[in-house]
Amino acid sequence: MDRALPSLYFLWLKLLEVEDGFILQTRCLDAGEQSIEFQQPPGGASTIIPMLLCVLTVSDRCSQGLMTDTAGPAVADLLRQHWPGSRVANALVPDKEDEIIARLLEWSSMHASLILTVGGTGLSPRDRTPEATVRILDRLVPGIAEAMRAIGSAKNQFAWLSRGIAGLRGSTLIVNLPGSKRGAEESLSAVIPLLNHAIEVAGGGQNHPS
């Protein structure tokens, strides 16, 4: 019982074959339902391919039409404001792991620079966004989630209860935000400078000194 942790990553390596099958299957299921909307950069013609930034609202009630999603659009507005030349895609899914995963895989395969999920990070029985996210990450970036909670708790102590995680799939940075409009905006604003730097480094554009 004394040697517990060693095999974690070793094991993952052994499972790639199975996992790849799973990913392919998930993506096929999703293929018929994609409806990404791109916002053209305001500055007109550019020779550089603009960054793709994505917002995925995760909410049973919003996806059933019982509630209007205000947090997702607010997050998308913040992205357009901080990265004015970028394309911003958005989508809405219920609190179902398979649907969350399908969208994360789709956008990361399109080499999105950043995917922000909004919602499903709480302790309600249906909240499973972090569990879906961790399944498709290559590398964790624990400090982004720690920063959102530590900085957020100065204004609202319940920020500590967000179970959100952050990490990379390839060069795509994926970050879980809480589902309330205020919580999502505050969490994102707390880490905007970090995300800017992280995206640049993850894309291979700079060697960050850590």
Where does this chain touch its own copies (CB under 8 A) — which range of 27-35, 39-47, 80-88, 139-147? 139-147
The phi-psi region of residue 105 (left if phi > 0; otherwise alpha if psi is between -120 and 50; otherwise beta) is alpha
Enumerate residues 69-128 that contact its own copies by CB under 8 A: 97-98, 121-125, 127-128
Q: Give first-to-last CA distance, the chain, whole Å.
A: 35
* Interface with its own copies: number of residues (CB under 8 A): 79
Residue 40 vs 168, nearer CB to its own copies: 168
SS3 164: coil
Phi, psi of 168 (to 5 degrees): -115, 140
143 touches its own copies by CB under 8 A = yes
Query: In this chain, which of 79, 179, 185, 188 binds its own copies, going by CB under 8 A?
Result: 179
Residue 31 vs 123, nearer CB to its own copies: 123
> In the bound complex, what is the minimum distance in angstroms from residue 177's beta carbon to its own copies?
9
Q: Which two structure tokens, joined as six digits, stand for 200?
A: 């640049």
Phi, psi of 55 (to 5 degrees): -125, 120
